[in-house]
Amino acid sequence: MASAVVAGLLAMLLAVPSAVGNVWLERRVMSIAHQGGEFEAPSSTYFSLRRSVKRGADMLEIDVHGTREGNLAVIHDATVDRTTNGSGRVGEKTMAEIRRLDAAYWFVRGRNAIKGEPASAYPFRGIRTGDRPPPRGYRRADFRILSLAEVFRRFPKIPINIEIKGNADTNQASFNRNADLLAALMNRTRRRNVIVVSFNQAAVDRFHSQAPQVDIAPGITGVAGYFLAGVRPTEGTVAFQVPTKFNGIQVASPDFVSRAHHDGYAVHVFLDAPEEENVTVYRELVDACVDGIMTAFPTKLERVFDIEGLIRPGLPGFDPCAGASG
């Protein structure tokens, strides 16, 4: 009896219709600036986000944590310690307190946020606090932590990939709170050029239940179910966001991309380490017909796109694999 129930549930999952009219399949291949390109400029600051767009990024990838009063701060970590001159959990601070911090304090070019280097290694330290002038065309405030609402206002036409974060992998309550805050914000805006994702599948599902009009990408369990057994992810899914490999297994293979495209899903690939950010990997992903590459080095990726002559017209994206998928 139990096996029959399981089989029935699996059949229902497999019967979920594929994405129809998926605009994210029409934008490939996008350069997606991960944290605005955190190895080229201070993570997720307006300076890094604007800089990456000016250098050719088609989409911005950011992370969000809820502040004490319920705003959404754009920062990767649950604490401010790694990237700023402050300390403590984001969820225990107000947005006003977080904005005062220097988000470029520990940034080292080509290495992200690194502590313990000579003062000369930190090219943007002190701009936020007025101890040194900003680069031409920028302000002191461009080197602080932003709210998600500010990112929406400043980049109204640039697609945004938003990852729901939590305080720790085991702290489901923090994922739930951040999912709730994000859903509430999305329900107050007409913004639709957005994909919401989280490694935590429960957070994705919770968000989707409250803001079903917003496109999503599945968490680890959703990706694994599709990759290993062909189980369709939550309705509303438009893309799979995957590493090149997981535990030595090739994930972003041409076969996986072709299968996802056939089923109506885009494939965005995030690069786990600086060692993957090279011409060989970029070209392999383009040849595999992926729809987007999440890069910490947007200038480097754009240079490869230029060398290959892959210039994106009109809307973000070019399609070197037109007619090759499905």
Judged against a pLDDT cut of 60, whether residue 119 lies above it is answered with: yes
The SS3 of residue 45 is: coil
**pLDDT tens profile 292-317:** 999 999 999 999 999 888 777 666 67
Are 73 and 90 in contact by the 8 Å Cβ rule? The answer is yes
The SS3 of residue 26 is: coil
Q: What is the C-alpha to C-alpha distance for residues 237 and 204, in angstroms, rounded to an integer?
A: 10
Are 268 and 5 in contact by the 8 Å Cβ rule? The answer is no
Q: Can you tell me the mean pLDDT for 70-83?
A: 98
Amino acid letter for position 264: G
22-307 folds as TIM Barrel (3.20.20)
pLDDT band at 210 (very low <50, low <70, confident <90, very high): very high
Are 268 and 238 in contact by the 8 Å Cβ rule? The answer is no
Q: What is the C-alpha to C-alpha distance for residues 101 and 143, in angstroms, rounded to an integer?
A: 9
pLDDT band at 65 (very low <50, low <70, confident <90, very high): very high
Amino acid letter for position 164: I
Phi, psi (deg, nearest 5) at residue 166: -135, 170
CA separation, residue 157 to residues 133, 153, 206, 313, 316 (Å): 29, 9, 26, 15, 10
Tokens of 83: 């990237």
Whole-model pTM: value is: 0.92
Judged against a pLDDT cut of 60, whether residue 118 lies above it is answered with: yes
Query: Across 104-158, where does the E strand assignment appear?
Result: 107-108, 112-113, 146-147
Rg (CA), the chain: 20
Beta bridge partners of 59: 32
Half-sphere exposure of 303 (CA within 13 A, CB side): 7
Q: What is the C-alpha to C-alpha distance for residues 63 and 241, in angstroms, rounded to an integer?
A: 14
